[in-house]
Structure 1
Amino acid sequence: MQRPRRHALLAAALAAAMTASLGPATARAAAPDTGKDPRLTRLIAAMTLEEKAAQLFVLQIYGKSADTADPADVARNRRLYGVDNAAQVIARYKPGGFLYYSADPPNVESPQQLAAFSNGIQRAAMAQPHRVPATIGIDQEGGIVARVQPPAVQSPGSMALAAGRRPGDAREMARLTGRELRAIGIDQNYAPDADVNINPANPVIGVRSFGSDPALVSKFVGAQVDGYQAANVTPTAKHFPGHGDTTTDSHLGVPEIDHTREEWEKYDLPPFRAAIARGVDSIMTAHIVVRSLDPTGDPATLSRPIVTGILRDRLGYRGVVVTDALDMKGARAKYGDERIPVLALKAGVDVLLKPPADDKGDGVFARQLAAVVQAVRKGELTEERLDASVYRVLALKKKRGLFRAPYVDESKVGAIVGAKPHLAAAQRAADRTTTLIKNDARLLPLRPGPRKVLVAGWGAATIRTLADELGKRGATPTVTETGLSPTPDRIAQTAAAARDHDLVVAVTNRAWDVKPSQPGEPHNGPGQRDLVRALLATGKSVVVLAVRDPYDIAHFTQAPTYAATYSYTAEALRSAAKTLFGEQPPRGRLPVTVPVHDDPATPLYPLGHGLTY
Structure 2
Amino acid sequence: MTLTRRAFTAAALAGTGALATIPAAQAAPAKKGGGTKDRIEEILAGMSIEQKIGQLFVAVGYGSRADQAHASNTATTGVATIADIVRTHHVGGLIYFVWSENLQSIEQIATLSNDAQDAALESGGIPLVISADEERGVVYRLPAPATPLPGQMALGATGSKAHARKAGEVVGLEMRAAGLHQSFSPVADVNVEAQNPVIGVRSLGADAQAVAELVAMQIRGQQGANCSAAAKHFPGHGDTATDSHYGLPIIDHTREEIDTLDLPPFVAAIEEGVDAIMTAHIVVPALDDSGRPATLSHPILTGLLREELGYEGVIVTDSLAMEGVRTMFGDDRVPVEAILAGADQMLMPPDLVVAIGGVRDAVASGEITEERLDESVRRILAQKQRRGLFDQVHVDAAGAESTIGTAKSVKTARAIAEDSITVITAERGALPVRKGSRVLVTGVGTAAKIDAAVAELNALGFQATGLVGATAAQAATAAADHDAALVFTSSSGFVTPAAESAVVKAVAGTGTPVVHASLRNPYDVVHVGPVAASLAAYGNADASLRAIAGVLAGTVKARGTLPVPVPHADGTGEAYPIGHGLG
TM-score (norm: length of structure 1): 0.87
Choose which of 107, 110, 113 in structure 1 pairs with 2:108.
Answer: 113
Q: 1:283 to 1:180 in 2, by over 3 A?
A: same
2:280 to 276, 281, 286: 286
Q: Which residue of 1 aligns with 2:482?
A: 501
User: How far does the alpha carbon of each residue in 1:417-464 deviate from its partner, in whole angstroms, 9 at most, with x for none?
Assistant: 112222222212222111111111421101221515242234443223
**Secondary structure class of the residue paired with 2:262:** helix
Structure 1 Cα separation of the partners of residues 36 and 414 of structure 2:
44
Note if 1:241 corresponds to 2:235. Answer: yes
Query: How far off is 1:79 after superposition?
Result: 1.4
Please, which moves more after superposition, 43-52 or 187-196?
Answer: 43-52
Q: RMSD between aligned alpha carbons? A: 1.7
Amino acid corresponding to residue 321 of structure 1 in structure 2: I
Q: Report if the CA contact (8 A) 1:54-1:93 is conserved.
A: yes
Which structure 1 residue ranges, 5 or more long, are not aligned?
1-34, 357-363, 515-523
Q: Say whether residues 1:140 and 2:134 are aligned partners.
A: yes
Q: Give the superposition deviation at 1:195.
A: 0.3
Matched length = 549
Q: In the alignment, which residue of structure 2 is the partner of 1:219?
A: 213
Match runs of 1:196-215 below 5 Å: 196-215=190-209
1:83 Cα offset (Å): 2.0
Paired residue type of 1:575: A
Match of residue 72, structure 2, among 69, 76, 97: 76
Q: Any idea what SS the aligned residue of 1:604 has?
A: coil
How is 1:126-165 mapped onto 2 (pairs within 5 angstroms)? 126-128=121-123, 130-165=124-159
Q: Larger deviation: 505-514 or 372-381? A: 505-514
Distance change in 2, residues 1:311/1:195 (3 Å) = same
Cα deviation code 1:465-522 (max 9, x no counterpart)? 212222323434343334xxx9xxx3233323323332221101117677xxxxxxxx
Match of 2:527 among 552, 555, 558: 555
Q: CA deviation at 1:410?
A: 2.6
2:91 corresponds to which letter in structure 1? Answer: P
1:427 aligns with 2:401: no
| Amino acid in structure 2 at the alignment position of 1:49 | I
8 Å CA contact 2:60, 2:100 repeated in 1? no
1:485-564 matched pairs, under 5 angstroms: 490-510=471-491, 525-564=497-536
- In the aligned structure 2, how far is the partner of 1:48 from the partner of 1:203? 43
Say yes or no: does 1:569 pair with 2:521: no
> How far does residue 289 in structure 1 lie from its aligned partner after superposition?
0.8
Q: Which moved more, 1:458-467 or 1:300-309?
A: 458-467
Q: Distance between the aligned counterparts of 1:52 and 1:327, measured in 2?
A: 22
| Maintained 8 Å contact 2:363/2:369 | yes
1:323: how far off?
0.4
CA distance in 2, matches of 1:501, 1:316: 61
The whole-number CA distance in structure 2 between the counterparts of 1:535 and 1:444 is: 18
Whether 1:466 aligns to 2:438 is no
Larger mean Cα displacement after TM superposition, 461-470 or 431-440: 461-470
Cα deviations by residue, 1:133-154 (Å, 9 ceiling, x for unpaired): 0010011111111111321122
SS in 2 for 1:140: coil
CA distance in 2, matches of 1:566, 1:65: 35
Percent sequence identity is 44
The letter of the residue matching 1:93 is H
- 2:10 match: none
Q: Does 1:174 align with 2:155?
A: no
Equivalent in the alignment of 1:271: 265
Q: Secondary structure at the match of 2:344?
A: coil
Contact 1:512 1:555 in 2 (8 A): no
Where does 1:374-393 land on structure 2 (aligned, <5 Å)? 374-393=361-380
Instruction: Work out whether residues 249 and 255 of structure 1, in 8 Å CA contact, stay in contact via their aligned partners in 2.
Output: yes
Q: Distance in 1 between matches of 2:493 and 2:73?
A: 38
| Secondary structure in structure 2 of the residue aligned to 1:594 | coil
Equivalent residue of 1:76, what SS?
Answer: helix
- What SS does the aligned partner of 2:120 have? helix
In structure 2, what is the equivalent of residue 231 of structure 1? 225
CA distance in 2, matches of 1:539, 1:402: 62
Instruction: Work out the CA distance in 2 between the residues paired with 1:551 and 1:54.
Output: 44
Deviation at 1:68, TM superposition (A): 2.0
The amino acid of 1:553's aligned partner reads V
Instruction: Choose between structure 1 and 2 for higher RCO, CA contacts under 8 A separated by at least 6 residues.
Output: 1
Is 1:611 the counterpart of 2:556 in the alignment? Answer: no
- TM-superposed CA distance for 1:292, in Å, is 1.0
Asked if the contact 2:333/2:355 (under 8 Å) is kept, the reply is: yes
Pairwise CA distance, 1:43:
2.2
Extract unaligned runs of 5+ from structure 2: 1-34
**TM-score, scaled relative to structure 2:** 0.91
SS at match of 1:603: coil
Compared CA separation, residues 512 and 400, structure 1 to 2 (3 A): closer
Do residues 58 (structure 1) and 54 (structure 2) align? no
